[in-house]
Amino acid sequence: MSADSTTRPLIGRANRNRETDCCLAQYTRGTVSTHVSDVYQRFREICLSLPETSEIFVDAWGHPTFRVGAKLKMFASCSSPDAERSGLGMKVELAHQQALVHTDSRFTVAAYVGKHGWINMDARDPVDWDHVRELVLESYCLNAPKRLAKQVAPGT
User: Where along the chain do its domains lie?
Assistant: 22-150
Q: 18: helix, coil or strand?
A: coil
* Domain at 22-150: CATH architecture: Alpha-Beta Complex (3.90)
Tell me the sheet residues that pair with 73. 68
The predicted pLDDT at position 12 comes to: 42
pLDDT reported for residue 114: 96
- Taking only the tens place, the pLDDT of each residue in 55-80 is 999 888 888 999 999 889 999 999 87
Whole-angstrom distance, CA of residue 143 vs CA of residue 149: 8
Q: What is the pLDDT of residue 10?
A: 41
Mean pLDDT of the chain: 81
Reported pTM: 0.77
